[in-house]
Structure 1
């Protein structure tokens, strides 16, 4: 009977999901017909980008570097705050219910607010430029890093921790020798993944005045410099692929 009920529940869930998808197509005005009629406009927009503006490449190097710096700094600041937050938010580590709930609340809040909103808040406080963008990336990254760090800590094997505790290890020694060796590979993989996300996010934040190559993209779009837009997109592509290659090399060496 239980098996029959479970099968029915699965079919009901699938049916509910399909109904929601169909309703979403209607509610979002999804139309392949409109897309087909708009294809000539898309083609015209793309055709205006060619050939790319080769002369603009040298001036894009500095904004590209600033974009990478924003992502690296934002991720680094987030790591510093997320590691202790992750331990406090882990059920098997947190001994105080109040701090556990508070840490989980901070993680949920920073994850739920879009990074672009944080960028606008910090821009209103410190002005335009890469600094507010870096702060926005750092705060928003805490939500993801803190959550995944906490989950990694919760999934550790308790036996090494119990063995260390049995010989009189204090709280710091338990974390350093019993927890960190188990969670370090997961922490590194999560951090590199977040850095990859922050590279892309830093480009988007530039569109609201948070500096970097995204700001150059916004300027070119406002001035209808289509060929320069393509040059910027090429630089962004090279930058993202380069970071992905470096991240994969680090993963293969360390993890």
Structure 2
């Protein structure tokens, strides 16, 4: 009986210690959150109170939405959609060879593994907006720099997820293929890619959704698309057109999300 009580007491003591550790972690995170709130001036009540009437005034100036220029927005909408599709396709094409080099179970050499991982980290670290600004300066305004910015930035994200999927695949089919005398390309094509293809397709479609939204932000740096129309309307204080454009963007994002979900169901089973 004493041994059971001692064991029970030890279990309670361990659980209490774990709860205390969790509580300390939560308090530390909350402390960081509150410090962040203070740094960004969220606790500046006077400034926040002054801003609320300005927001209400701005919203009133955005009503009713002005769709009079909608025929002129059709081409930018198509451009935005094309930029997201082309940028995602570029990212997939570049990510596939890089992910094979960045996965521990398919890379030919540790040095190549670290080089590939560094390339993925670099492309992922530079935001597409900064890439867009650099590429606009390099190749001029328009859809091309926006598409390239989306593609290059997406390489880092897609390549990382692809490589992690390859590393987590079931090793049994891979070992069986190698034992049967298959070459390394045959092992990759017949034993690895069939396992990770659903995950790759899933991540690709999610990235396409993200790229569609990001392509609108790139309009701020002159990279074309519907984002450029929004920035232009804001600059000339056409707030009713801005609200109409935001409604158009909302509808397009909903359509893209629905289409992405439909395509994802076809590939991910």
- Cα offset for 1:71? 0.7
For residue 44 of structure 1, the aligned residue among 57, 60, 69 is 57
Deviations 1:195-251 (A, max 9, x none): 001001000000110001111111110111111111111111111111100011111
**Counterpart check, 1:117 vs 2:130:** yes
Alignment match, 1:12:
24
The equivalent of 2:36 in structure 1 is 24
Structure 1: distance between partners of 2:231 and 2:67: 18
Count residues with an aligned counterpart: 255
| Superimposed CA distance per residue, residues 170-200 of structure 1 (whole angstroms, 9 cap, x where no aligned partner) | 1111011100111000000000010001001
Match of 1:66 among 79, 103, 123: 79
Higher relative contact order at CA 8 Å, sep ≥6: structure 1 or structure 2? Answer: 1
How many angstroms does 1:35 deviate by? 2.6
Unpaired runs of 5+ residues, structure 1, are none
> The residue matched to 2:182 in structure 1 has which SS?
coil
Unaligned runs of 5+ in 2: 1-12
2:9 maps to what in 1? none
RMSD: 1.5
- 1:56–1:231 Cα contact (<8 Å) kept: no
The runs of at least 4 aligned residues of structure 1 exceeding 6 Å deviation read none
Query: What whole-Å deviation, never above 9, does each CA across 1:49-108 have from its counterpart, x for those lacking one?
Result: 111112111111110100111111011001000011111111111131111111100111
- The within-5 A match list for 1:87-102 is 87-102=100-115
Structure 1 CA distance, aligned partners of 2:220 and 2:201?
29
Determine which of 91, 112, 133 is the counterpart of 2:146: 133
For residues 203-222 of structure 1, what are the structure 2 equivalents within 5 Å?
Answer: 203-222=216-235
1:153-164 correspondence to structure 2 within 5 Å: 153-164=166-177
Q: Could you say which structure has the larger radius of gyration?
A: 2
Q: How much does 1:7 deviate?
A: 4.1
1:75 aligned to which of 88, 111, 131: 88
Tell me if the contact between 1:130 and 1:211 (Cα under 8 Å) persists in the aligned partners.
Answer: yes
Question: 1:167 maps to what in 2?
Answer: 180
TM-score of the pair, normalised by structure 2: 0.91
CA distance in 2, matches of 1:67, 1:157: 39
Which residue in 1 is equivalent to 2:3? none
